[in-house]
A and B are shown apart, each in its own frame.
Chain A
Amino acid sequence: MDPVLLIALPLFTAFLIPVARRIWKPSAEVLPFLTLGFNLYLMISYIPRALKAPIVVVIANWKPPLGINLTIGPLGLFLALIITFIAFLVAIYSIWYIRVEPKEKYCMLCMMLVTGSLGMVLTGDIFNMFVFMEITSISAYALTAFIRDRDGSEAAFKYLMIGSLSSNFVLLGILLIYVGTGTLNMADIASKMPSMDPRLAMAAVILMVVGLGVESEMFPLNGWAPDAYSMAPAPIAAVFGAIVVKGAVYALARMIYTIFNFHSLFYFLVIMGIITLLIGEMSALRQKQIKRMLAFSSIGQMGLILVALGLGTMGGLVAGLFQILNHAILKALLFLAAGYLVYHSGSKNIADMDGMGKRTPILALSFTIGAFGIMGLPPLNGFWSKFFVISETVKSHYIVIASLILLGSVIEAVYYLRVVGRLFFKPAGENIKAEPLPLSGFISMFVLVLAAIVIGLYPNWVMHLLQPAARELLDKQFYIHSVLGQ
């Protein structure tokens, strides 16, 4: 089976949904489910081959460096598995949750977002990555404004302005790279980078880091995130936090590790990451709306991932990639649970969710497991990834950074336990609808809880996939040789 199907099938499904819906009404829900399920099966079948050496897919018989190629290495496959898995569960969840009428537009935009993100992590050409980043961003802008009220449009406008400005910066960076090296293939740029004028390379890397930092929520550039996460519908907020941001962090890591070789950038990433972590956690402490609080918590966790990616060692990279996996699972679980919490209690404020633990126990339990995972309590997966990040930070002699991470974790524990305590230990309010949880929501949350517990009990299963992925990112010559040496 040709690996191009991984990207082409969701795109085809996105355009098929409006047509198919005229013929058979429920096809808007069934088609994404089938497509993403097939994608998952295809990706799992590529795992044995991709772990030995990256699969390079030559498109239209133009070999790299002249043609555009897909590079399905261990890192790309790992991220693509996370993206497809979370999108599959969100597609199941939205079967019941999204009941306003332009439903085929929602499913179509969701599929376009998945196409864009899969293309971003699987491609080997820098302009192709820019095009897929634009596809992802435009679908994200439209999905933020999906609920047609005033706040949704304002959040979408903010996101659109900052996002398209950052895309233009990325395009300028790509232009400068093209001027300096004369090629657009990532492996070829990496091999020609030493011969590029250092001032041109410095300008290019600054533009790229600012442009990609907006999408990956680095400190001064994340003003769009709280509004966009809180005003989008809950499954879309889960998709943002688990899919869009991970694609951008992958692009940033690919720039800094494989393409450019400025060593001071690693230190910059660590500093920016720790500032993002602290500001995100401290802002989350003041929030009174649950989705906004989860958005700031997501910003804080991305700061943690940036610290781990900025360490520059093999252990740091493995820890960062593990944290990416755990954050995707747990944040998706938290947003999906928050969607039903908002629905059942009728408002987004935390104060109106008192005592839901007694009326809707399964829902509150899912939220609690997500919260405990992000805080890092032992039998769940968040414990292992946070432990590895902190121990790698200490091993690289950044003791102050490690203590600041621990401080951030304490602040995180405060605001999550505040919500959990209100859910379980306060008397219930009056206007809580005590309907039973719909089956689609229950299945998606249950699978995520199961994933969190299983990865927490057996982390070594995942670490086997992460070691080759980290090696692909760290070892430039290996990547260049496997793409160009064909």
Chain B
Amino acid sequence: MIYYLASISLILIGTYAILTKKNLIKIVLGLSMIESGVNILLVSIGYVHGKTAPIFSNLSMKASQMVDPVPQALVLTAIVIGLAVTAMALGIVIRLYDHHKTLNIDRIRQLKW
């Protein structure tokens, strides 16, 4: 239960950061926090009390002694996707800084209604 609360609060902190912060890097950090929160939630859903990691560390392990491996596969994919999106976001932030010479999002509002 504590894992669910922790991951949901990570997601909420990240959303708060995206919505209220003015510095571009802090916004990207908020996005990265949301992705971490979702990954932690995904792994903790698959946890079964008292079982161990889904790896055949010695050949006589049975599948009934393992936690659910499907969420772990989903999390591996989601971590890689999150990495790619964060890298691209930071690349765009660098280019925005080159053009506008500021990281304050209130000053980068050329495209209006």
Residues of A within 8 A of B (CB): 127, 131, 134, 138, 141-142, 145, 148-151, 153-158, 160-161, 164-165, 167-168, 171-172, 174-175, 178-179, 184, 226-227, 230-231, 283, 286
Q: Say yes or no: is B108 at the interface (Cβ < 8 Å to chain A).
A: yes
Select which of B34, B70, B93, B113 is within 8 A of A157 by beta carbon: B93
Query: Could you list 14 A-B pairs, sorted by A, with CB under 8 Å?
Result: A134-B81, A141-B88, A154-B110, A160-B92, A164-B35, A164-B85, A168-B34, A168-B35, A171-B38, A175-B71, A178-B70, A226-B111, A231-B111, A283-B113
Smallest Cβ-Cβ distance to B105: which chain A residue: A157
Q: Which of A127, A155, A175 contacts B45 (CB 8 A)?
A: A175
The list of the 4 closest CB pairs from A to B, nearest first, reads: A150-B99, A153-B95, A227-B111, A153-B96
Q: Does B13 contact A (CB under 8 A)?
A: no
Question: Quick check: B111 and A154 within 8 Å, CB to CB?
Answer: yes
* Closest chain A residue, CB of each to CB of B111: A227
* CA–CA, A286 and B112, complex, Å: 12
Known interface pairs A160-B92, A178-B71, A227-B111; A138-B84 also in contact (CB < 8 Å): yes
Q: Would you call B108 and A154 a contact (CB within 8 A)? A: yes
| Chain A residues within 8 Å of B96, by CB | 150, 153-154, 157
Q: How far is the CA of A174 from the CA of B89 in the complex (A)?
A: 24
Q: Cβ of A175 and Cβ of B85 under 8 Å apart?
A: no
Q: Digitize B17-55: 1 where CB-to-A-CB distance is under 8 Å, 0 elsewhere.
A: 010000010010001001100100110010000000000
Q: Which residue of chain B lies nearest to A287 when distances are taken between CB atoms in the complex?
A: B113
Whether A175 pairs with B92 at a CB distance below 8 angstroms is no
The interface residues of chain A lying within 8 Å CB-to-CB of B63 are none
The answer on a CB contact under 8 Å between B85 and A138 is yes
> Which of A131, A150, A157, A175 touches B41 (beta carbons < 8 Å)?
A175
Q: What class of interface size applies to chain B in its complex with A?
A: 20 to 34
Contacts of A226 in B (CB 8 A): 111
CB nearest to B86 among chain A residues? A164
On whether the beta carbons of A151 and B35 are closer than 8 Å, the reply is no
Q: Which residues of A contact B62 (CB under 8 A)?
A: none
Interface residues of B: mostly helix, strand, loop or mixed?
A: helix
For the complex, give the distance between the alpha carbons of A165 and B96 in Å.
20
Chain A at the B interface: SS class: helix
Flag if A148 contacts B34 (CB, 8 Å): no
Min Cβ gap B103→A in Å is 12
Chain B residues with CB under 8 Å of A127's CB are 74, 77
Q: Which residues of B contact A142 (CB under 8 A)?
A: 88
Q: Bound state CA distance, A283 and B112, in angstroms?
A: 12
Q: Which residues of B contact A165 (CB under 8 A)?
A: 15, 18, 31, 34
Min C-beta distance of A11 to chain B, whole Å? 15
Docked Cα-Cα span, A283 to B113, in Å, equals 9
Contacts of B34 in A (CB 8 A): 165, 168
A148: nearest chain-B partner, CB-CB: B95
User: Given A131-B77, A165-B31, A178-B71, is A157 in contact with B92 using a C-beta cutoff of 8 Å?
Assistant: yes
A145 touches B41 (CB 8 A): no
Give the docked Cα–Cα distance between A155 and B111 (Å). Answer: 8
Interface hub of A168, A172, A230, A231 (most chain B Cβ within 10 A): A168
Residues of B within 8 Å of A184, CB to CB, are 70
The listed residue (A145, A150, A171) touching B78 by CB distance below 8 A is: A171
Asked if B18 and A161 make an inter-chain contact with CB atoms under 8 angstroms apart, the answer reads yes
Q: Are A172 and B99 in contact (CB under 8 A)?
A: no
A151–B95 Cα gap in the complex (Å)? 11
CB proximity to A under 8 Å, residues B64-113: 70-71, 74, 77-78, 81, 84-85, 88-89, 92-93, 95-96, 99-100, 108, 110-111, 113
CA distance A283 to B111 in the complex (A): 15
- Contact, CB under 8 Å: A160 / B89: yes
Extra 11 A-B pairs, beta carbons < 8 Å, given A160-B88, A178-B71: A131-B81, A141-B88, A158-B111, A160-B89, A161-B27, A164-B89, A167-B81, A168-B38, A175-B38, A178-B74, A283-B113
CA distance A230 to B111 in the complex (A): 10
Q: Inside 8 A of A174's CB, which chain B residues have their CB?
A: 74
